[in-house]
């Protein structure tokens, strides 16, 4: 692969990669042309695009290593049958601690201790018993996990209403959860997913037997959602199964159509996939029911082959989706974006950017304050498609090189760079975007490249 010059001027980048008319009249994003916003453009530039990077067996071994290396990941099967009062109380207080920094409601009012007391009381720590049994559940609808058992949104002093500081992450239909505690009002569960511990709306999960929950994703015959969002067929009999949103990376057991006969919910299933979906009954208990996904939807039987081409095409399926901090806005953020792309290959990661970037899984190039610009540019010039570049609070995914410049795709909120007059420009991306790597800045004094601390290759 062609090496980058050691020092690259942003003005050279703009001249090479972006016509003046496009930059001036169509977009304020530097160095991007219309053709670069198509996956085929990058596939055509990628060497050995269809080469298998890891076999399914190697991916399974990678996941096993990742879970051993990353303490924030949990094998739910290994959880104890119960927690004692002190242990569970400590877990709740860790995830639901009062923030060290000031928080504000959307109307500008600062949260007080009285506000926090309301949330803390709903955690119902007084109800903890000497022995607290662990229950299990499946997620029945896409939902989010939160810092406190409350839907209230809170913001930092910048009052960016796109960034709710109480939201933690999203979970999806079929995800298994360990249920550890219930809120005083009964509306929230403290739940542990494989990658997170936080509060989840009770209405969005169904409690089931341990073995039934944990075996749901173990079927050898399964489909993976490979589109950004896929929907089950309309179902007039069971609204809970009707037009159910399924996000990229969701894995569901696949049924043989013969098991449901020639009619299911008034429709012949032969033009659809018949999948198993978790269903919440009136008492909040789990049952598993068949649902239909039309074969015109973006679904794959089994995991996608882990190739450079598939990495590119999966990433581009999110192009233009609005940024959603913590999976808010029915979308995802930077780490959600890369995680969901990689889940289509069966690869699992920690949730937060620091956990990912500082994690020991994969192949990692590390940088610190003493690392030189030359070292970083040398590393950038040798990146492979799909490599992940970590800077404080953010991650980008490498697409390839064009006119000697590295390009990335990332789910990003803000945008800043030095313009052609060397003035600091700030703008908005607020969605999944293609950008050159080198011009992007975290601040007027620091570029993305300045702040790179890890380049991670998932191998």
Judged against a pLDDT cut of 50, whether residue 2 lies above it is answered with no
Per-residue confidence (pLDDT) for residue 115, from 0 to 100: 98
List for the chain the helix, strand, coil content (%; round to 5): 30, 30, 40
10 pLDDT more than 80: no
Res 230: pLDDT: 98
Instruction: Tell me the C-alpha distance between 449 and 310, whole Å.
Output: 26
Averaged over 373-382, what is the pLDDT? 96
Domain 10-57+305-457 architecture: Alpha-Beta Complex (3.90)
Residue 138 pLDDT more than 60?
yes
Nearest Cα neighbor of 215 from 132, 286, 122 is 286
Torsion angle defined by CA atoms of residues 140, 144, 149 and 153, in that order, rounded to the nearest 10 degrees: -140
pLDDT at 38: 98
Query: Is the CA virtual torsion 241, 247, 250, 253 positive or negative?
Result: positive
Query: Could you tell me the residue ranges of all domains in the chain?
Result: 10-57+305-457, 73-211, 219-301
Instruction: Answer left, alpha or beta for residue 95, where phi above 0 means left and psi between -120 and 50 means alpha.
Output: alpha
pLDDT, averaged across the chain: 94
Alpha carbon distance 312, 308 (integer Å): 6
> What's the pLDDT at 274?
98
Strand ranges in 141-244 using DSSP code E only, listed in sequence order: 143-146, 167-171, 176-182, 188-193, 196-201, 205-208, 222-225, 229-231
The arithmetic mean of pLDDT across residues 49-55, rounded, is 98
> Would you say residue 42 has pLDDT above 90?
yes
**Fold equal for 10-57+305-457 and 219-301:** no
The percentage of residues in the chain with a pLDDT greater than 70, rounded to a whole number, is 95
Predicted confidence at residue 258, as pLDDT, reads 83
Q: Round to whole Å and give the CA distance between 215 and 4.
A: 49
pLDDT in tens, 206-251: 999 999 999 999 999 999 999 999 999 999 999 999 999 999 999 9
Strand, helix or coil for residue 69: helix
- The length of the chain is 459
Question: What are the CA-CA distances from residue 101 to residues 90, 97, 156, 164 (Å)?
Answer: 21, 11, 8, 14
Indicate if the pLDDT at residue 13 is higher than 50: no
434-446 residues labelled b (16+ CB within 10 A) or e (exposed): bbbbbbbbbeeee
Q: Which range, of 15-19, 68-72, 412-416, averages the lowest pLDDT?
A: 15-19
CATH architecture of the domain with range 219-301? Roll (2.30)
Half-sphere exposure of residue 23: CA atoms within 13 angstroms, side-chain side: 15
Burial of residue 315 (number of CB atoms within 10 Å: 0-12, 13-18, 19+)? buried
Q: How confident is the model at residue 320 (pLDDT cuts 50, 70, 90)?
A: very high
Tell me 64's DSSP state.
H
pLDDT of 15 over the 90 cut: no
Residue 26 confidence class, pLDDT cut points 50, 70, 90: confident
DSSP state of 181: E
Please say if the pLDDT value at position 106 is more than 80: yes
Q: How much is the pLDDT for 17?
A: 40
Question: What is the mean pLDDT of the segment spanning 311-340?
Answer: 98
* Residue 456 near residue 390 (C-beta atoms within 8 A): yes
Q: What is the pLDDT of residues 162-199, one digit of tens each?
A: 999 999 999 999 999 999 999 999 999 999 999 999 99
User: What percentage of the chain reaches a pLDDT higher than 90?
Assistant: 93
pLDDT given at position 172: 98
**pLDDT higher than threshold 70 for residue 19:** no
Q: Answer yes or no: are the C-beta atoms of 394 and 435 closer than 8 Å.
A: no
The dihedral sign for the CA sequence 20, 26, 31, 33:
negative
Residue 18's pLDDT band, with cuts at 50, 70 and 90, is very low
Of 331 and 3, which is predicted with more confidence? Answer: 331
Phi-psi map region of 198: left, alpha, beta (phi>0 left; psi -120 to 50 alpha): beta
Q: Are the C-beta atoms of 308 and 399 separated by less than 8 Å?
A: no
Token pair belonging to 11: 């003005």
Under 8 Å between Cβ of 243 and 232: yes
Dump pLDDT digits (tens) for 247-303. 999 999 999 888 899 999 999 999 999 999 999 999 999 999 999 999 999 999 999
Higher model confidence: residue 22 or residue 163? Answer: 163
pLDDT at 92 over 70: yes
């Amino acid at each position: 692969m062609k090496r980058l010059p050691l020092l690259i001027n942003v003005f050279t980048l703009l001249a090479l990669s972006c016509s003046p008319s496009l930059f001036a009249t169509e977009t304020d994003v530097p160095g991007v042309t219309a053709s670069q916003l198509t996956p085929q453009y990058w596939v055509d530039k990628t060497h050995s695009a269809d080469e298998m990077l890891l076999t399914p067996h190697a991916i399974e071994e990678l996941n096993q290593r990742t879970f051993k290396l990353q303490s924030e990941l949990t094998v739910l099967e290994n959880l104890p049958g119960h927690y004692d009062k002190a242990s569970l109380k400590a877990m709740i207080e860790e995830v639901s601690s009062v923030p060290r920094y000031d928080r504000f409601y959307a109307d500008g009012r600062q949260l007080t201790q009285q506000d926090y007391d309301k949330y803390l009381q709903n955690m119902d720590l007084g109800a903890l018993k000497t022995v607290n049994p662990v229950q299990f559940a499946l997620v029945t609808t896409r939902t989010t996990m939160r810092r406190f058992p409350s839907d209230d949104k809170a913001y930092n002093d910048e009052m960016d209403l796109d960034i709710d500081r109480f939201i933690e992450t999203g979970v999806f239909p079929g995800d298994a959860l360990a249920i550890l505690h219930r809120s005083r009002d009964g509306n929230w569960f403290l739940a542990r997913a494989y990658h997170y511990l936080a509060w989840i709306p009770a209405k969005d999960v169904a409690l089931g037997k341990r073995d039934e929950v944990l075996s749901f994703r173990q079927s050898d015959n399964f489909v993976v959602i490979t589109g950004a969002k896929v929907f089950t067929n309309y179902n007039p009999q069971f609204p809970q199964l009707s037009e159910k949103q399924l996000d990229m990376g969701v894995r569901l057991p696949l049924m043989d159509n013969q098991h449901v006969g020639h009619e299911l919910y008034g429709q012949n299933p032969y033009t659809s996939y018949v999948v198993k979906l978790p269903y919440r009954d009136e008492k909040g208990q789990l049952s598993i029911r068949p649902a239909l996904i039309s074969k015109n939807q973006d679904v794959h039987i089994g995991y996608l082959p882990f190739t450079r081409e598939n990495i590119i095409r999966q990433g581009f399926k999110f192009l233009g989706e609005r940024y959603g901090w913590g999976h808010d806005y029915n979308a995802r953020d930077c780490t959600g974006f890369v995680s969901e792309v990689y889940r289509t290959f069966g690869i699992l990661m920690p949730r937060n950017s620091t956990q990912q970037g500082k994690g020991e899984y994969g192949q990692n190039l590390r940088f610190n304050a003493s690392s030189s610009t030359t070292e970083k540019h040398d590393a950038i010039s040798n990146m492979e498609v799909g490599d992940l570049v970590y800077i404080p609070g953010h991650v980008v995914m490498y697409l390839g090189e064009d006119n000697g410049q590295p390009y990335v795709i990332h789910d990003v909120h803000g945008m800043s760079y030095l313009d052609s007059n060397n003035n600091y420009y700030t703008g908005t991306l607020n969605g999944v975007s293609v950008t050159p790597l080198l011009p992007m800045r975290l601040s007027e004094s620091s570029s993305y490249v300045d702040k790179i601390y890890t380049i991670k290759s998932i191998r």
